Amino acid sequence: MAELLIQLYRVITYALSIYSILLVIYILMSWVPASRDTKFGKILEKIAEPYLGFFRNFIPPLGMIDISPIVALFALQLIGQGLTPVFNFFLRLL
């Protein structure tokens, strides 16, 4: 059971890392507007916008600068770091 929990932890942290990379790519694509019109850009938009949109609802842009992606990435990193104590707790119970 402990091995299964360790594997689950690895899969989740790996998925969060990949998602963070995809978010960074999507954010950088905003600097080249034509890149979001590509097929890859549309796929990234479907993956990233639901998560980023949640933060855009609460954090207004500062003039022309949208800081919500920075907060979204920071929150994703905090979630990833918060998983370690949770999984350690459950491993101690086993």
Report pLDDT for 19: 97
CA–CA distance, 66 with 71 (Å, rounded to integer)? 10
Structural domain includes residue 29: no
Mean pLDDT of 55-65: 89
Mean pLDDT of the chain: 93
Structural domain includes residue 53: yes
Q: What is the DSSP letter of 38?
A: S
CA–CA distance, 9 with 41 (Å, rounded to integer)? 30
Region label for 59, one of left (φ > 0), alpha (ψ between -120 and 50) or beta (otherwise): beta
Structural domain includes residue 28: no
Gap between the terminal Cα atoms of the chain: 8
pLDDT(13) > 90: yes
Which residue matches tokens 């998983």? 83
Structural domain includes residue 79: yes
Which residue range forms the structural domain that includes residue 74?
Answer: 2-22+34-93
Structural domain includes residue 27: no
For the chain, what is the domain count? 1
Q: Which of 92, 80, 94 is nearest to 9 (CA)?
A: 80
Q: What is the CA radius of gyration of the chain?
A: 17
Structure tokens that stand for 68 in this block: 């919500």
Q: Which of 13, 18, 20 is nearest to 74 (CA)?
A: 20
Whole-model pTM: value is 0.89
Structural domain includes residue 6: yes
